[in-house]
Each structure stands twice: as C-alpha cells, then as structure tokens.
Amino acid sequence: MLEMLVQPTSAQLREASRLSKKGTIEISPIEMPLTLFTWGSKRVMPVRLTELSINESAFDVHLNPIRASLSIGFKVLTVSDLPLGHPGAELYYAHLAQKERLAGAARTAGLGSLGLRPGDITVGRG
C-alpha cells in the first residue's frame, strides 16, 4: 500500500498512454492520492512521499517476507504545491493555524508548563 502512494497504478498509466496516442491528452504527471501524515490529533498535514525504502530481513518457508524495516521520507505540501480549493490546501491552512497557536502558547508559557521549576535549570560556562 505504501508503494502505491509513490507511483500511479498500471490502469492509470495504460489509460494515459491510450489517450496520448489518440492525441486527446497532454502529457502531464498523474495526480497521486492525497496522503496525510498524522502526528497526533492536532497535527495532520498533507504530504508527498519522496523516499520509500523497504528492507526485507526475514522470510517464511514460502519466501514471503515476515519482517521488514522501512525508511520513509516525505515533503509537507503547502499552498504553493496545491491548487486553490484543493482539500490538501485547506488541511495545510488548518495545520499552519494549529502551529501558530502552539507557538503562541509556548511564548506565554512558563517553565512550569514544561514540568520544570526555576531551580531545575543551571547555566554553566564550558
């Protein structure tokens, strides 16, 4: 499923090829499904996968992988990457507004909101 986020389906590629041969489509990238990275209920952002590496390290008796490690890279999509009115653009605006609220709360919060007391921090010279 993860691999399908970084490449179009065979049906999409065949249809694009068929239409381009007929001259009824201009060659342009096929739009991939909107992918959301969710890091808690208040941090949901549209992303594009830029890297996907799968290392299969253990297999069953039929050589089906049973253990794998993944490396995933992605780019957060902004309003510069998405057309006006795209659902991903609205999600980015919501993500940005939440980030602004968190930054504002951090500016006004004291050490106590981090679970620290003034005597817990010492500044030394090295």
- pLDDT tens-place string over residues 20-42: 777 776 666 667 788 899 888 87
CB distance 49 to 36 below 8 Å: no
Pair 8, 51 in one domain: no
CA distance 52 to 49: 7
Please report whether residue 16 resides in a domain: yes
Q: When comparing pLDDT for 32 and 6, which is higher?
A: 32
Pair 40, 95 in one domain: yes
Q: Say whether pTM exceeds 0.85.
A: no
Q: Model confidence over 83-106: pLDDT tens digits?
A: 888 888 888 888 888 888 877 776
Domain of 84, in residue numbers: 34-109
Pair 51, 26 in one domain: no
Pair 40, 93 in one domain: yes
Give the count of domains, the chain: 2
CB distance 45 to 91 below 8 Å: yes
- Per-residue confidence (pLDDT) for residue 100, from 0 to 100: 86
- Per-residue confidence (pLDDT) for residue 71, from 0 to 100: 93
Pair 54, 23 in one domain: no
Q: Model confidence over 55-91: pLDDT tens digits?
A: 999 999 999 999 999 998 999 998 888 888 888 888 8
Please report whether residue 12 resides in a domain: yes
